[in-house]
Amino acid sequence: MKIILATQNQGKIRELQDLLVDEGILVLSLLDISDWVDVEETGETFADNAALKARAAVRRTGLIALADDSGLEVDALNGAPGVYSARYAGEPKDDGRNNDKLLHLLETTPDDKRTARFRCALVMATPFGKEYLTEGAVEGRILRERRGLDGFGYDPIFYLPEYERTMAELTLAEKNNISHRAQAFRKVIPILRDLGKGAMPYDPGED
Ligand code: IMP
């Protein structure tokens, strides 16, 4: 079976391909489509935005399409930056400035009120008009300064109490094992498996 992941992010493509290789599922992506026009992410939730991208990809390719949308929710900021995570400090998108803005806004917030989570919504849209939503979340706390060199986005200021490290101090393998995205990706596997079974050619066997 062939599916498409509606992203141009090599890391996400590799992560999903690795999870699905044993299922005999080939993951295409927007990198395989020459004339892809980016979908405007106008949704108010991660799930809305993921659905917009998945629907566009299924319309364009006729393949089962998956799309994810993710971001950071900080409790002391009523869930901000949320769907605005990528461009929190404005255009052009800049992880460094986003982190600076967040640290500044939380300067007077005490340690026990700095709780936050990464959230991911993954929508799968089929050519037959069905849609499925899976989600993942990782709980943590926003530090007062950056720690660690790996990862991207808000990883250097996102502390995982369970691991006593920030997301940027985890190895890629560790992060891919626990991340909000990995959780959402893993939950979609049984659904894909069932769809795959449904698509098996009928074999009447011998009398
Ligand atoms: P996207 O929906 O995966 O493109 O993520 C949108 C934005 O959320 C990114 O640009 C980052 O700012 C933030 N984000 C999402 N996932 C992560 C993560 O795993 N680590 C750090 N930041 C993330």
Instruction: Specify whether the backbone of 116 is left (phi greater than 0), alpha (psi in -120 to 50) or beta.
Output: beta
Residue 39 resides in a domain:
yes
130-151: average pLDDT? 97
Helix (H) or strand (E) holding 65: strand 64-74
User: 155 in ligand 1 pocket by Cβ < 6 Å?
Assistant: yes
Residue 118 resides in a domain:
yes
The enclosing domain of 41 has a CATH number of 3.90.950.10
Res 205: pLDDT? 58
Residue 122 resides in a domain:
yes
In tens, the pLDDT along 88-139 reads: 999 999 999 999 999 999 999 999 999 999 999 999 999 999 999 999 999 9
Distance CA 148, CA 183 (A): 23
Question: For residue 140, what pLDDT band results from cuts at 50, 70 and 90?
Answer: very high
Q: Write the DSSP symbol of residue 77.
A: G
Atom number in ligand 1 closest to CA 152: 21
Res 200: pLDDT? 46
158-160 and 131-142 beta bridge pairing: antiparallel
Query: What's the gap in Å between 34 CA and the centre of ligand 1?
Result: 25
Question: How many separate domains does the chain show?
Answer: 1
How remote is the C-alpha of 26 from its chain's centroid?
19
User: 85 in ligand 1 pocket by Cβ < 6 Å?
Assistant: yes
Strand order in the sheet with 26-29: 26-29, 2-5, 64-74, 115-125, 131-142, 158-160, 165-166
> Which residue range is the domain that position 19 belongs to?
2-197
Residue 63 resides in a domain:
yes
Residue 205 resides in a domain:
no
DSSP code string of 78-125:
TT-BGGGGGGTT-SSP-HHHHHHHHHHHTTTS-GGG-EEEEEEEEEEE
Residue 202 resides in a domain:
no
**Mean of pLDDT over the chain:** 93
Name the burial class of residue 186, with classes exposed (0-12), middle (13-18) and buried (19+) by CB atoms within 10 angstroms of its CB: middle
Residue 206 resides in a domain:
no
49-76: average pLDDT? 97
Which residue of 88, 152, 183 sits with most ligand 1 atoms within 8 Å of its CB, as the best mutation to test the pocket?
152
pTM, two decimal places: 0.92
In tens, the pLDDT along 159-177 reads: 999 999 999 999 989 999 9
Residue 204 resides in a domain:
no
